[in-house]
Structure 1
């Protein structure tokens, strides 16, 4: 360093983290010129010039263009405006790369062809309106001629994917799978067959009725979440808090058939919860042994993918259910035992 606080180009490069050739390039580009040039042609830089060189290096590492940096230096824009605009560009690039990664990962898993690559790219590039039309077309087809209570298909239609503006790779992969499924005529036929078989008889029509569906998807769901929260808090099933939560759920369930929550009704519900895990296993085993696709392969698969796309996929609770149902049964029986 000279007595005047000036640094030769080598020191300026070292202090700013640039190469000597980069410092020369920025000078020739008119961005950061040397503070002075000696009679012998040596370029000297003061502390302010070195700080500007370091700032330019930072912006270049963020992929900021030279023209934008020049506009900033010349006062035609502010740093905030420049960084805001550049952030928007980077975020768009990130979304694009995330979509490409989802397509590539799916293609690698499926050993996809060029045609499938083009299809998947179209699927992830769909607009919100195009996704809405695809789902509507799926439910229009599935629900056509389906002998179920009025309004049931419309309720099913409300459970639809809403891909966020900034989806994760997992959400994009789920959307690709879902979009391919709902476009598949075979999947549509299987979902229609499952719904017809499940909801066309007397019991099924009761389950598909408006009050029952409202309970499952709204009030009953909220009440069961309260029960699960109390259980996970470590409460005894005989505690006042557990009794209150389970009783609210049981009263709402009994009200579906205009039945007061009498002691014998609580007992019957307790039996039902104790038997439920076994019944669920039997149903799963029957579906696995049968040739026709079951719930998990049809409507259940649709729902699980929608949950992932929407970012609210439920936790795996299959291992929890037997213990939880036993806990609920004990809570239902606690008043009968005088506890």
Structure 2
């Protein structure tokens, strides 16, 4: 085919691989108009028309709409401009598909009900601005806008959850759980009390009165049992807890009975509320962190073990 030869729509179909019907549609839509017509009215196309149709095919396969293609052919837009804009749109679509996939996997993993799946989907689809607003509302509602402890507020804000554009199944599940937790008034009260203690790294009364030697022994023992994965509610935890209760009872000259165990639990819980520790665990998952210095729940294991029914 040269620059002067004209070809019928059938010949153009054979050279491009497009159906006659498709080429006719492009002609009727004025995307690629015929070069001329025969006396009988049949359409004829030249080399330029062939090249235009090939470009249309390429752009259509890339998902670009006919209106944009028409502007490219009319030299109102360059291929680069259209490709860049479309690539941005595809990025958004990919993010939404990835998020949808994560929600579906999280729903399947947790055996979520239809209502829970709907909530999971709605919360995961919040924009970054909406997520920040939810977090700001939580912090303002927890600490108050006036007379708030600035150190505690700064600590919480420095470790705010940030759901990535392509979250994992666990990150989506953690975000949904965290969003529900932040709306709980009882939890907000717990967070307010515990965060102030953690932010100022205050020593618990029981730590001061028990003495450095006993507290150092306790921390090392708790690190050991947590590292080995011993369940605080399991039978393996019993001898560890019984030994600690005995040592603390001697230090405080009290009987190592159920009442003393509960008193110990209340004392250690003052600095590490289990629900607050769960908040930080969820934040770590969402942000992909391994550890947040100063917020390791040292005593949560002990509090749970102390309160286990005996």
- Whether the 8 Å contact between 1:27 and 1:33 is mirrored in structure 2 is yes
Please give the per-residue CA displacement for 1:182-216, whole angstroms capped at 9, x wherever unaligned. 334566577679879997625869xxxxxxxxxxx
Instruction: Please tell me whether residue 71 in structure 1 is matched to residue 71 in structure 2.
Output: yes
TM-score w.r.t. the length of structure 2 is 0.58
| Structure 2: distance between partners of 1:67 and 1:3 | 27
List per-residue Cα deviations over 1:138-157 (Å, max 9, x = no partner): 4567679xxxx983564244
Following TM superposition, by how much is the alpha carbon of 1:54 offset from its aligned partner in structure 2, in angstroms?
1.5
Q: C-alpha distance in 2, partners of 1:21/1:49? A: 16
Query: Is the contact made by 2:102 and 2:168 (CA closer than 8 Å) also made in structure 1?
Result: yes
| 2:86 aligned partner | 86
Does the aligned pair in 1 maintain the 2:142–2:192 contact within 8 Å? yes
Structure-2 change in CA distance of 1:52 and 1:308 (3 Å): farther
Alignment check: 8 A CA contact 2:152 2:195 kept: no
Query: Matches of 1:80 and 1:111 in 2, distance apart?
Result: 46
**What is the aligned residue count?**
244
Contiguous gaps of at least 5 residues in structure 1: 206-268, 316-339
CA distance in 2, matches of 1:313, 1:175: 14
**Separation in 2 of the partners of 1:3 and 1:54?**
16
**Secondary structure of 1:63's aligned partner:** coil
- The residue that corresponds to 1:280 in the other structure is 226
Residues in 1 aligned to 2:286 and 2:11: alpha-carbon distance in whole angstroms:
54
Which of 306, 313, 317 aligns to 2:289? It is: 313
Which position in structure 2 is the counterpart of 1:161?
Answer: 161
3-state SS of 2:126 partner:
coil
Per the alignment, residue 250 of structure 2 pairs with none
For 1:187 and 1:282, the matched residues in 2 are separated by 30
> Structure 2, unaligned stretches of length 5 or more?
209-215, 239-261, 292-310
What CA distance in whole angstroms lies between the structure 2 residues aligned with 1:3 and 1:156?
71
- Find the counterpart in structure 2 of residue 24 from structure 1: 24
- The RMSD of aligned alpha carbons is 4.6
Whole-angstrom distance in 2 between the partners of 1:150 and 1:26: 66
Give runs of aligned pairs for residues 108-257 of structure 1, distance below 5 A.
Answer: 108-139=108-139, 151-152=151-152, 154-164=154-164, 166-170=165-169, 171-184=171-184, 201-202=204-205
Distance apart, 1:159 and its partner CA: 1.0
TM-score by length of structure 1 reads 0.54
